[in-house]
Structure 1
Amino acid sequence: MPRPNFGIPFTQTFRSEPYAAIDPTQLSLSAAGKTILITAGHTGIGFAIAKNFAIAGVANVILLARRAEVLEQAAKNLSTAHPKTKFHHFTASVDDALQIKEIFSKIKSRISDIDILVTSAAYFAGMSDVLTLPSEQLRETFETNVFGNINLVKEFLVDIPEVGSGKEKIILDISSAAAHVDSPKFGTYSVSKIAFSRWLEHLHRDLKGKAVRIHSYHPGAVFTEATKSFGIKEDAMPWDDVQLSGQFSVWLASKEAAFLDGRFVWANWDAMELKEQQAKLENDPHLLTLGLISN
């Protein structure tokens, strides 16, 4: 099975593996002193993001997920590999607003203010026509992918820093190409992903003038434990290296990518070529946003 045709990429170079420009060991991409919270950071893409932010020197990585044993093991493995970073873990479901509020309160009092929020947790009911998907699974998709992520953002932004305060909050929305391309059998997942990313675009406008950056992005086509559980075979297509997702996330949170605030991008797009189009993006507020094509 060949890689699906997602249309013409925004950059001429389409990346599937890590490359020098997004190497997290670079001083320009340093996350030293920062605290990051990653949902579903115990496996797959979330784990790769945790690993690469640790390489970039982040002070604290907070992992939040529902499976306590897997979560604890992931934190241990990361701590062993990256002893200079402190790893913390909390067991919770993002759709439990009260539980999320309590955890954020504990983090603030016991660890630190959170600088970066990564919304990596997602629910996928499986490949199905939208009409035949059971209502319970439809509801769970939106409870996690939309309402659950909104719970996180609201707690993350209880204190919103002003521009010039020396502080900045960054939201990294792990979205999906399914949010804006034709995705047969992925309809419900697609709609939930576009709903949250679109909600973030409105939030971006509402917070204009505040020191908050928001980035939504497709992390690449990565073969993960979750992908396998859906019955998709590893030899189904050429997959992207999960470390591309992790390293691109570090780059996106750096000052180098600040010009992409409020945009939707792909981890596969070359960072240097994106930087070359900064002026084009600054002159077109609708470019790389979700909307209707009219020409």
Structure 2
Amino acid sequence: MSAEQIPAQHQDRDPGRESEMTPRPDYEPRYPGSGRLKDKVAIITGGDSGIGRATAVLFAREGANVAIVYLDETSDAAETQAAVEREGGKALLIRGDVRSKDFCFEAVRRTVEKFGKLDILVNDAGHQEEDEDIRGISEEQLKKTFETNIFSYFYMTQAALDHLKEGASIINVTSVNSYKGNPALIDYSSTKGAITAFTRSMATNLADKKIRVNGVAPGPIWTPFIPMSFPPDKVKDFGKSSPLGRPGQPNEVAPSLLFLACEDASYMTGQVLHPNGGKIVGG
């Protein structure tokens, strides 16, 4: 998809809805499965749409059963569930707010109760609001962004560790903004920097347990975040500034998460992959 194919659009609902985007993001896996996650169980926060949906469907194609955690995007979650089941996987929908520690523990409990175990945790749920003046970031917005983007990663990891065994994988979705910053997404970029540090810290913390912790730092990806966060004129130009000159699709990010989830990445922990359209970033 080229940047020119995105028409001006905006969604007033938070979170945004993938079903209302034009054009629809491409989440379908692009190659046959090879059983790399056969009989594995994954839980994905924010799994109803965007990168989370593409990851859920790809994991299912590779043999996994998936618990999909979402806030209130019921139609998007149902579409993801149907796509997972078309791939031969089982899907469990879990609706609730990951800002609540109690809910995060309940989500993990329900996943293990349904599937009998937990092998992979993907922390992907996120929130962002555009504001070019730090003085315009309200206390409410600041709390919502941090509670969604980093507190929930702590809560989900705390809950999952009672069930993860040697060989398990935790994957945290951070952002290119963790590395380069973003003048209009100051609070969001700050949380993504925290996620990167959290990933590195947990990798060293869990190394002796042989549980790998890695991250993925996407660049401009066409997800419901974009029409929800930005005005129509910015949506229309979304992704044009990347070196490849276009936004990425969710199914161009999901393979990075698959790699980190499976045994192909058995000697990687504390690392971050960068599907960002060519932006060169430092460590």
TM-score by length of 2: 0.79
Give the number of the structure whose alpha-carbon radius of gyration is greater: 1
What is the rounded CA distance, in whole Å, between the counterparts of 2:236 and 2:42 in structure 1? 31
User: Superposed, which structure 2 residues align to 1:51-62 within 5 Å?
Assistant: 51-58=57-64, 60-62=65-67
Q: Does 1:106 align with 2:106?
A: no
In structure 2, the gaps of 5 or more residues are: 4-25, 241-245
Give the equivalent residue in structure 1 for 2:139: 135
Give the equivalent residue in structure 2 for 1:63: 68
The answer as to whether partners of 2:219 and 2:277 remain within 8 angstroms in 1 is no
Aligned pair count reads: 247
The answer as to whether partners of 2:206 and 2:212 remain within 8 angstroms in 1 is no
Identity of aligned residues (%): 21
Superposed CA deviations along residues 118-164 of structure 1, whole A, max 9, x for unmatched, are 11100112233223211110111111111111100100112453xxx
Q: Does 1:45 align with 2:51?
A: yes
Give the equivalent residue in structure 2 for 1:251: 259
Q: Does 1:209 align with 2:208?
A: yes
The answer as to whether partners of 1:24 and 1:53 remain within 8 angstroms in 2 is no
Q: Does 1:25 align with 2:32?
A: yes
The one of 188, 209, 233 equivalent to 2:235 is: 233
What is the rounded CA distance, in whole Å, between the counterparts of 1:73 and 1:39 in structure 2? 15
What is the rounded CA distance, in whole Å, between the counterparts of 1:171 and 1:24 in structure 2? 24
TM-score by length of 1: 0.76
Q: 1:55 to 1:233 in 2, by over 3 A?
A: same
Query: Cα distance, 1:38 vs. partner?
Result: 0.7
In structure 1, the gaps of 5 or more residues are: 3-17, 162-166, 271-287, 290-295
Query: Cα distance, 1:23 vs. partner?
Result: 6.5
The RMSD of aligned alpha carbons is 2.6
Q: 1:175 to 1:267 in 2, by over 3 A?
A: same
Superposed CA deviations along residues 227-269 of structure 1, whole A, max 9, x for unmatched, are 1112232443211122111122112222222333101221259
User: Superposed, which structure 2 residues align to 1:72-87 within 5 Å?
Assistant: 72-82=77-87, 84-87=88-91
The one of 121, 126, 130 equivalent to 2:130 is: 126
Give the equivalent residue in structure 2 for 1:150: 154
Report the secondary structure of 1:180's partner residue: helix
What is the rounded CA distance, in whole Å, between the counterparts of 1:242 and 1:54 in structure 2? 15
The answer as to whether partners of 1:124 and 1:141 remain within 8 angstroms in 2 is yes
Query: Cα distance, 1:202 vs. partner?
Result: 1.5
What is the rounded CA distance, in whole Å, between the counterparts of 1:182 and 1:72 in structure 2? 31
